Amino acid sequence: MTEHGVAAIGPIPPMPYVAPPVWAEPGPKVGRFAHSMVMNQPEMLEDARLCEAVGKCSVALIGLADDLGVELNGGRIGASQGPNAFRSALARYGVADPAGWEWPRVFDVGNVMPSPGDDAAALDETHRRVTETVRSVLEFSRGRLFPIAVGGGHDLTYPFARGVIEYWSSRGVKIESAVYFDAHLDVRETAGSGMPFRRLVETCGITRLAVFGASAMANDRDHVRWFEEHGGVYAEQWKLTGPSVASFDLDVLDASHAPGVSAMNPAGWSVVEAAEIVEAAGRSSQVRCFDIMELNPAHDERGRTARAAAHLFLAFLRGLSARGSA
């Protein structure tokens, strides 16, 4: 066991669809949270030093750098650059040594490369790559790395969560619940960014959906009907009764806080209230994965949304650090 209580892992297997993470200059700074992260270095993937460093981590950060699903649904494109914009914001935010707790160590896996193409078949192939990568991360770490994704179109929550569900199912843990923060229900039948939770119900055994922040002005009656007929509830307080996947679409935030999303919300949450419940999600041992989606730097005035995403990521990590301490 390591000093952090995580067994050593390795060698790290090849991940053919993963590109190294991109950190904008000046990159992670000394004294900032990001400086403590372990970075994916392709030339060292079989190196014992990297395996030892990753073995001390308890979180895997995975970039989902694709927004074809957004384009297919007629949204504002640009979220394919979300993971790198998030890293740039994180490089400048978050103290290395907070008072009263310690950050979980994070391994930055890199970005899953999307499939070439501009149709539903290309989207399906990208989804396959995401699921394969997530399962690979969980398998080589024996489930010790908690997966957190940043994207990217919200459709990518489906293959990301699918990889987690498949991994834990193979080890006897049944995940039947999905909780998400979103102005939209995202239960469309057609391929695109608005379909992830319908696909999780139809193909991954999810029987309970709980959404925070859904807007009555942003959801068609057919989608509302489908959601309510398939175990959907409108949540107001954090409560889970079994293993769950969790997802945060940045468009649940008010446009004054988060202009850089695929579909702006004129009447959404503040970052303060969002961070409180995201931290609660981090504390819950029932949550098996988490993602932050729809970060669109092409429309992000002065990087405000990216910084909000970085804050929510750290809020989740703070909650995660408290697991088992109560």
CA distance 145 to 134: 10
Residue predicted with more confidence, 3 or 86: 86
Does a structural domain hold residue 2?
no
Is residue 42's pLDDT more than 80? Answer: no
Does a structural domain hold residue 66?
yes
CATH of the domain at 209: 3.40.800.10
Percentage of the chain lying above the pLDDT 70 cut: 92
User: For residue 274, which amino acid is it?
Assistant: A
Does a structural domain hold residue 1?
no
Does a structural domain hold residue 306?
yes
pLDDT digits (tens, 9 = 90+) for 132-159: 999 999 999 999 999 999 999 999 999 9
What total of structural domains would you count in the chain?
1
Residue predicted with more confidence, 2 or 241: 241
Is residue 26's pLDDT more than 60? Answer: no
Among residues 133, 172, 125, 126, the alpha carbon closest in space to that of 149 is found at: 133
Is residue 59's pLDDT more than 70? Answer: yes
Query: Domain range holding 99?
Result: 18-321
Give the max Cα distance, the chain.
55
User: For residue 145, which amino acid is it?
Assistant: L
Model pTM? 0.94
Does a structural domain hold residue 231?
yes
pLDDT of residue 239: 82
The DSSP annotation for 237-302 comes to S---SS-EEEEEEGGGB-TTT--SBSS--TT-B-HHHHHHHHHHHHH-TTEEEEEEE-B-GGG-GG
Among residues 319, 296, 325, 305, the alpha carbon closest in space to that of 146 is found at: 319
Mean pLDDT, the chain, rounded, equals: 91
Does a structural domain hold residue 284?
yes
pLDDT digits (tens, 9 = 90+) for 62-99: 999 999 999 999 999 999 999 999 999 999 899 999 99
The pLDDT confidence band at residue 237, using thresholds 50, 70 and 90, is: confident
CA distance 284 to 188: 29
Does a structural domain hold residue 223?
yes
Number of other residues whose CB lies within 10 A of the CB of residue 224: 16
Does a structural domain hold residue 110?
yes
